[in-house]
Amino acid sequence: MSYLGINRKQWFSTNLEAGVGFVVLVAVAVALWWWVTRNLDLRMAWSGFSPAYFLAFERHPEWFASNFPSGAEEFTKSAQMLLYLPADSLGIPPMMMMRILIGTEIVMLAGAAIWASWMIDDKVGWTVAVLTPVFLIAGGLVQPDFGRWGHPYYGWSYNAAYACILVGVVATVRHRMILAALSLSLCVWIHVTLGAFGIIFATAALLADWRRYRLRDLVVAGAIGAALSGAWLVYLTRTSSIGGGGIPDDIYVAIVRVMSVHWFPFDLGLFWERQWEVLIPFLSVMILFVAYLPSREGEIVGIARQIGVGCLAMLVLTVAGVLASRYLPQPFLLKLALQRSSSLILIFSLFFIVPGLWRDATVHHSLLRAALAALALFAPFLVPAGVPLALAVLLGGLVLAEEVRMRGWTHYALALLGLLTLSVGAAIFYFAAGLAPGWRHSAYTGIDVIVTTAGGAVVAGLFIAIVLRRRVPVQIILLPGIAIAAVTWGKVLDEYQDPVLRARAEDYMAAQQWAHDNTSVGTLFMPDPAHFYGWREVSLRPSFGNLREWMYTSWLYNTQKPVFDLGVARLRSLGLEIGSYLQTSDPQADASRLVNDVRQAYYSLTENDLVRMQKEFHIGYFVFEKNRRSDIPLHIVYENANFLIGTTRESR
């Protein structure tokens, strides 16, 4: 091929690298799907909120006439979840359909990320284009959002929505406005709040370079988006209340403050005693984001500026959401969870961080910078924090030093210096205040894992690459290493590898199966109200509900006052008043106390209490976990190693 001006060795090396990269992506995607779905039946039986119950409720609402709403009934507000209905009509079981949709989520995210990589930088290589999705579908690099949603979370509508946002925003900066309108509208149909964030992001990116857009294109795209999104919003407004509904705002806020794990960053300690969970990892990602933003590289600079403006808009929303949750806690603002928009900053940062790290790890002349970049590529799969702050600061410092040496103190250099100073200053403050968990913690250095695992792998890999430089490019060594790390990380998606939890989940599913096979349709069961959330999934029998359903998920979005009152009454039936848990300034402690008290009250019920509740609520059977109480005053109709089902002797 030399007569075409292409070096045969270079051509072979480039294509070998691209081929290995593609194999890595496919291997990681398949492994993730396997980890997520291998125990999907146990997950649904144990944790609930599954399409199995949703589908049964939609098809046969009469089966659940005595059921307490779980919140899964709200699946109808996502077009993706509605797909289970036609799938059922085609004879596809809900668990099979869920496996199909989880695979679709992974493909959508990976495909959108590959396309976005090429659209953001048309000079990006195939290797980087297929490597970037690996960090989007796996690992902890995009996890530290201030809404604590824990991306990637498979089995819901979130990932499909993120894929649509990726396509919509990148189509916007590439002036493909009709595609942008269609994609962002689809996102609204899948997840309305994330769709709104995506539209705001795309609008901010557009305004950053508005003179380059044709008015006709904007009008047509706007009309398409308004029609499609508006139609879905009309549908939603018929089924939801914007504010607190009939529930007084102060009561709504007070209860949600205790029960929510997403909406109150200050109360969750994310800026204080738990700064290591989100704030410090978020700063680490921001350092790498700014460090690898292009500053003088042609067309990509303009695109990077537009995406950067979109990220700034998301940062404004995040700050607004955090402050509103503290100083202006209104039901409408809480439901928006504006701080969740920080997830889009993390996602779009990948398209600059991964290419930058890969470039430094494979072609940079500095061995130190190459080694640190390689460590940063492995870190998201080895430590929960994504990239430790110390590693990000070291890399950011090296990038800053090179920038100043080559171009002086540019605006870019000053911005990076400011971010480094802020991050280091925050770390010093938390250590001085005694709030940091220790310098070895994964958010700060992760030194134990990094040095023993990734450090050894990188040093060995670089040594091999140097020795075999003429035969084996360093890229061919790094790619399989990243694949192994990502596939291994995927184990965290299957919590049922824990033998104790697995045994309990299997027995809980068996108890549900007994209920399905041996009781009549419509029979009301009362499971442990401190177990969240499963019961209906396999049994297809109504549930008395549990604490989080009574006091949170059943009325959180639709704010139906009758459902709220019913939940309060069910808590009161155990001798507890919700007002007793809303009086302190420590919502987390209140939440723990409430859960413990509910469990203690349930497992302390006397025979008279059980008879009273059975008569008052027409409960057919009670479900108890055997290791929490040995002398349960019931007639036992079913039991296994962990659970028993019984009814009162009086009702026999």
pLDDT in tens, 523-551: 999 999 999 988 999 999 999 999 999 99
- Are both 403 and 457 inside the same structural domain? yes
Is residue 574 included in any domain, yes or no? yes
Residue 160 located in a structural domain: yes
Per-residue pLDDT at 457: 61
Same domain, 453 and 574: no
- Is residue 194 included in any domain, yes or no? yes
Residue 649: per-residue pLDDT: 74
Q: Is the pLDDT of residue 4 over 50?
A: no
Rounded Cα gap, residues 441 and 226, in angstroms: 47
**Domain co-membership, 538 together with 396:** no
Examine residue 65 and state whether it is found in any structural domain, yes or no: no
**Residue ending a domain, choose from 493, 512, 530:** 493
Task: Indicate the burial class of 566 (C-beta count within 10 angstroms; 0-12, 13-18, 19 or more).
Answer: middle
Going along 236-362, which residue ranges are E strands? none
Residue-wise pLDDT tens digits, 185-212: 999 999 999 999 999 999 999 999 999 9
pLDDT over 60 (residue 233)? yes
From CA 195, how far away is CA 381, in angstroms rounded? Answer: 29
Do 237 and 381 fall within a single domain?
Answer: yes
Q: What is the mean pLDDT of residues 396-421?
A: 94
Q: Are residues 254 and 339 in the same domain?
A: yes
Q: Report the b/e string of 128-150 with b at 16+ CB within 10 A.
A: bbbbbbbbbbbbbbbbbbbbbbe
Residue 48 lies in a domain: no
Tell whether 459 and 550 lie within a shared domain: no
Tally of structural domains, the chain: 2
3-state secondary structure 67-136: CCCCCHHHHHHCHHHHCHHHHHHCCCCHHHHHHHHHHHHHHHHHHHHHHHHHHHCCCCCHHHHHHHHHHH
**365 and 263: one domain?**
yes
**Is residue 485 situated within a structural domain?**
yes
Q: Average pLDDT of 478-490? A: 91
Give me the sign of the Cα torsion angle 613, 617, 622, 627: negative
For residue range 423-464, list pLDDT tens digits in order: 999 999 999 999 999 999 999 998 877 666 655 665 566 555
CB 365 within 8 A of CB 398: no
Is 245 within a domain?
yes
Domain that holds residue 508: 498-651
For residue 57, tell me if it sits in a domain. Answer: no
Confidence at residue 304, expressed as pLDDT on a 0 to 100 scale: 94
Which pLDDT score is estimated for 559? 85
* 458 and 538 share one domain: no
| Last residue within a domain, chosen from 493, 521, 554 | 493
Residues 608 and 479 in one domain: no
Contacts of 36 (CB under 8 A, 6+ apart): 102, 154, 155, 493, 494
Last residue of some domain: 493, 510, 536? 493
468 and 511 part of one domain: no
Q: Same structural domain for residues 444 and 519?
A: no
pTM above 0.95, yes or no: no
Q: Are residues 23 and 115 in the same domain?
A: yes
Lowest mean pLDDT among 17-21, 37-41, 429-433, 644-648: 17-21
Residue 164 has pLDDT above 90, yes or no: yes
